[in-house]
Chains A and B, each alone.
Chain A
Amino acid sequence: MAKELPGADVAAEAAGGDAFPAAGQPLLRIEAVAKTFGTFRAVAGVSLDIKAGEFFALLGPSGCGKTTLLRMLAGFEAPDEGRILLGGKDIAQALPHERPINMMFQNYALFPHLSVRDNIAFGLKRAGMARADIATRVAEMVALVKLEGLEKRKPDQLSGGQRQRVALARALARRPQLLLLDEPLAALDKKLRENTQGELMELQRRLGMTFIIVTHDQEEAMTMASRIGVMKAGKLAQVASPRELYEAPRSRWIAEFVGDINLFDGESKLRDGHRLVIGTRDAGALVVAEPREPVGAGKFAIAIRPEKVKLSRRAPVSEAGRETAINTLDGVIADICYLGGTTTYKVKLDTGGMLQASVANSARIDVDAYSLNQHVVAWFTPDDCVVLPS
């Protein structure tokens, strides 16, 4: 296996003998990059820094520009504006074969006329590596992705999972400074995808390589990436760790895009120490913790994740006006969605709104289950609420 990676580095040699930047050092800097196709502004001014050794995910709905951004990093599209600096050198206009960057394609793009071995060796031959070194490196890559015994097969004789591994081995073989992965797991079924996620993360940690993955699957991004950049309409809406993205989304759109959420439009606000009392039409007055950034004059909304909402038959003890005050809302169960690990209840609030509560099914017998039309109290703390500009 590839515990020891020899010093000879093909891709870096091809790029003029750059050494690998140490982990944590800035590797890639994207500066105000923009790309327009006809009248469609696919990428509209993106700036981003990526450190060596990072596992970065570009997340967004289809058409948000994430694939275009990735293709500009690979060199298949040239940006109209801005710079792309890799290790300090501007590569924005360099051709794909001049970059120490490799890409794993969404449909894998394996060469159908070449065997597994020749597919993996393809990039090494182009780099002018000696025949013996190529054989060693290919064997190393085959072992790395656990494809031993399949070296002589053609791509059409492989399963989907095996093809994915060949594509990964081929992209890693040149030891790129940066590996780009375009929806690498989209073609795999759910179970295989989950296993492969774990393997990719393990591999990235072991090789200490920098990965940028493009995905529309937020769960995939949250599982694998150490940092996520959410893209919307050609712009980066937020760059944050998975936890921050989920718990402290910067806008209403991000809150809705990443996971499920309850949103209540705010109508008035009142300062009360470190808390705000916010009047909403659908849920009455809610007490929320004061946000880090002051809420502006514009419209805003209160967001609560469904799993932060607790349900009970009677209201918990709480005294309004004290630090420990909690929000309690009365309602009846309007819809039950059993998902195995959790059950999602939709509660029709007496104040008029709907509230989703996700309850963990922590016991096999249904001790905690509520039935349709049952009266319940939904409650959550001020800290569970996020105030979002909308």
Chain B
Amino acid sequence: MRKVSRLSRFNIASLALGLAFLYLPILILVLYSFNASRLVTVWGGWSLRWYREFFNDRAMIEAAWMSLRVAASSATIATLLGTLAAVALSRGERFRGRTLFSGMLYAPLVMPEVITGLSLLLLFVALNAERGFWTVTIAHTTLTMCFVAVVVQSRLGSLDRSLEEAAMDLGCNPVRAFVSVTLPLIAPAIVAGWMLAFTLSLDDLVIASFTTGPGSATLPIRIYSEVRLGVKPEINAICTLVIALIAVVIVIASLASKLSSSQGESAAPL
């Protein structure tokens, strides 16, 4: 029996360097959010001062609330539409132009955000829509529903078609078969898709800045405009909170997709 090979020194060093490159800036940011000093780069002892400052900053709180509302509603709409698209593409009859349709669905995944944002802005201007909460929500739905569709479709693809047939054979009409068999099996992927859409929307700066209007800035827009006037330690505190929120969401999403794939194994044929 061969022993499991240990990591060599080179491996350890490169791993440490890589992780440091990824996480050191974030660690520093988190650390300095607890800084008592007004100067960002000078350590002045531990303090929760900047968190207090943030919670007293009306404009910032409003931007955060706006971001959460946009993220939650766009994620919900995107999950609904993305799931429907995934079901249509993997379960529906083969229709003409299906390949083209699924290609078009995935195009926004690789489309530069500037283009998505600009084109949506042009659309909203042409429609004479008042820019604000709803335009950002619609724009984020456009961006994130493709991600949901990809996640849900890959789950549907790994599901055995004969499960639905078995349900129909045992007395379900097609809709009932979908609800009682397919839906419970793809639920983890739907949850993961929602979480993904939520974090994508929360993070987005480019598309939001194209499609939002005066007085309805999202948190990233607000932070960006503050930073242009100089970095306040308050920003560090906000960013730490956002990181914490996203970390929680990502952990839940990966747990959900892990659950989904472990069920997938049992669904696979022998």
Measured between beta carbons, the chain B residues less than 8 angstroms from A154 are 266
In-complex Cβ contact of B166 among A105, A127, A156 (8 A): A105
Interface string of B152-168 (1 = CB under 8 A from A): 00000000101101111
Complex contact A170–B170 (CB within 8 A): yes
Question: For the complex, is A258 an interface residue (Cβ under 8 Å from B)?
Answer: no
Question: For the complex, is B269 an interface residue (Cβ under 8 Å from A)?
Answer: yes
With A14-B171, A113-B263 already in contact, the answer to whether A163 and B166 are too (CB < 8 A) is no
Question: For the complex, is A328 an interface residue (Cβ under 8 Å from B)?
Answer: no
In-complex Cβ contact of A111 among B171, B174, B181, B269 (8 A): B181
Interface string of A97-137 (1 = CB under 8 A from B): 10001110111111111000000001100110000000000
Question: For the complex, is A160 an interface residue (Cβ under 8 Å from B)?
Answer: yes
Query: Once the chains are docked, how many angstroms separate the CA of A297 from the CA of B91?
Result: 53
Interface centre among B166, B167, B181 (most CB of A within 10 A): B166
Question: For the complex, is A95 an interface residue (Cβ under 8 Å from B)?
Answer: yes
Question: For the complex, is B111 an interface residue (Cβ under 8 Å from A)?
Answer: no
Question: For the complex, is B172 an interface residue (Cβ under 8 Å from A)?
Answer: yes
With A113-B185, A154-B266 already in contact, the answer to whether A97 and B172 are too (CB < 8 A) is yes
Query: Once the chains are docked, how many angstroms separate the CA of A95 from the CA of B172?
Result: 10
Question: For the complex, is B184 an interface residue (Cβ under 8 Å from A)?
Answer: yes
Complex contact A102–B181 (CB within 8 A): no
Measured between beta carbons, the chain B residues less than 8 angstroms from A107 are 160, 162, 269-270
Measured between beta carbons, the chain A residues less than 8 angstroms from B167 are 111, 122
With A112-B263, A156-B265 already in contact, the answer to whether A103 and B169 are too (CB < 8 A) is yes
How large, as a class, is the contact surface on chain B?
Answer: 20 to 34
Question: For the complex, is B173 an interface residue (Cβ under 8 Å from A)?
Answer: yes
Measured between beta carbons, the chain B residues less than 8 angstroms from A14 are 171
Chain A proximity of B188: nearest CB distance (Å)? 10
Question: For the complex, is B267 an interface residue (Cβ under 8 Å from A)?
Answer: yes
Complex contact B184–A113 (CB within 8 A): yes
Query: Once the chains are docked, how many angstroms separate the CA of A75 from the CA of B170?
Result: 12
Measured between beta carbons, the chain A residues less than 8 angstroms from B173 are 95, 97
Complex contact B165–A127 (CB within 8 A): no
Give 30 CB contacts A-B under 8 Å.
A74-B165, A74-B169, A95-B174, A96-B168, A96-B169, A97-B169, A97-B172, A97-B173, A102-B169, A103-B166, A105-B166, A106-B162, A107-B160, A108-B270, A109-B165, A110-B166, A111-B163, A112-B163, A112-B185, A122-B167, A122-B170, A126-B172, A127-B171, A155-B266, A156-B266, A160-B270, A170-B170, A174-B170, A174-B171, A187-B269
> Which residues of A pack against B, CB within 8 Å?
14, 74-76, 95-97, 101-103, 105-113, 122-123, 126-127, 154-156, 160, 163, 170-171, 174, 187
> Which residues of B pack against A, CB within 8 Å?
160, 162-163, 165-174, 176, 181, 184-185, 263, 265-267, 269-270
